[in-house]
Amino acid sequence: MKKLFTVFALGAISISASFAQSTDQGRDLSKYADDKFGEDDKYHVETPYQTVKVGPVKKNARIKNVIVLIGDGMGLEQISTGWTLNGGHLNLDNFPVAGYSRTWASDRLVTDSSAGGTGISSGIKTKYGYIGVDDDGRPVESLLHYAQSLGKKTGVTVTCRINDSTPADFVCHSTDRHEEEAIAAQYVGCGVDFLSGGGLKFWTERSDGRNLVDEMKVLGYTFVDDLEGVRSFKGGKFLGLFAPLDMDPVLDRGPVLRETARKAIEVLDNKKGFFLMIEGSQIDDWAHRNKVGHMAEELFEFDKIIGDVLEFAQKDGHTLVIVTADHATGGLTLIDGSLEERKVSVHFSTKGHNGIIVPVFAYGPHAEDFVGVYENAELSRRIKALMK
C-alpha cells in the first residue's frame, strides 16, 4: 500500500509539473489570448481635445441649481476607453468625489433606460419598460417635478427623440416605453421651460392628426429646428426638435447637444435656481451597435459638455453637478491600446445592456454626500434632499 501511494504521489507531482510547464510557470496567461479585432473594435484619435481645470467650491453653500448629466450606457470601461483615446485626459478627472450606483430594475437584474432612468429621476425602483411610474403603474414625482414645485425653472436636452426613455423619465408617465405618440403628447402642458432633442415625427406626423408643435407655440414656446435658432434664442420657453427620430452621429450633426446645454444654462439661470438634465444619449446607441469609434465620439461630446458645466458651477458656487449612467451597454472590454498614440482595441460581449455597477461623480456644495455604494433610487433621494 505504501508503495502504491508513492507511485500515485509521484504521478501527481509529474502532472503538476507538466501543467506548470505548459503555462510557463509565470501565470501571465494574457499572452495565450487570441485577440482578433475587426474595424469596429479599434479606434485612433489624431488630435485630442483640451480639458478644463476647476477648483473647489464651498462645501456647505446653499444649493440653488442642480444639473444631472446622464451618459446613457456609460460604464467604467466606456470612460476608460475615452480617457485612453484622449491621451489620458477627461473633464471627468476634475470630480473630487465619486460613488457607485446599482442599476437593476424591480423585475430584472439587467435594466433598460426606462427603469434605470426612473430610478435616477424619481427615487423608486420600477419595472423594465416603465417610465415615471411605480410597479403598479402609478405616476411618481421626478426630481424635475419637485424642482417645479419649488418654483425653479427646468430643462431637458438630449440627442435621442425627446419622447424616448431617459428624457421621458423626468417628465412623463407610462407603463410602456413604446407608446411613443402618447408619451410625446404628455409634453404639452408639462411646464418644462427648456426642451430639446429629436423625435419631430411624433409631434407633427401623428395618427391622431394633432400637431404638438403648434400646440406648444400656443402655450408660449419658441420652436427651433437648427443651430441658428438655438444661438438666436434670448429667453422664454424653448422647444428644439432637430431630427425626425434620433439625431445623426455627432460628427454629422455638429455640436447640437453642447450648444443647447449651454443655452439652457444661460436662459434657465435665475434667482430661484433651476434643474437641468442633460443626456449623452448615443453613447448607448453605438455601444449597442458595437462600434467603438462612434461610441467614443459621443462620449467626447458629453465630456466637453461636462467641462462647460463644471466651469459654470465653479463660477456660480451654488450648483450641484451629478454625472452618472442609467446602465452600461455592450459588455465592453478594453483589451489593448496606447496613451501616447491615443488608440484602443476593444471587445464587445453583447449588443445589449449589462448589469455592472456604474459610477457617480459629484461636484459642488455637498458633493461629499455622494460617496459610497448605493442604488440608483438612493442617488435620486440624496439629490432631492439637497434641493431647496
Indicate which residues carry an active-site annotation.
113
d(CA 122, CA 116): 10
Cβ contact 92:79 at 8 Å: yes
Cβ contact 123:377 at 8 Å: yes
Q: Which of 79, 116, 71, 73 is nearest to 329 (CA)?
A: 73
- Count of helix runs (H) and strand runs (E) in the chain: 14, 15
H helices of 72-128, in order, are: 76-85, 113-122
Contacts of 336 (CB under 8 A, 6+ apart): 35, 344, 345
d(CA 355, CA 360): 15
Cβ contact 58:319 at 8 Å: no
**Can you read off the three cell numbers belonging to residue 337?**
491600446
Q: Which of 92, 127, 52 is nearest to 324 (CA)?
A: 92
Contacts of 41 (CB under 8 A, 6+ apart): 290, 292, 345, 346, 347, 348
Amino acid at 206: R
The SS3 call for residue 232 is: helix
**Can you read off the three cell numbers belonging to residue 21?**
510547464
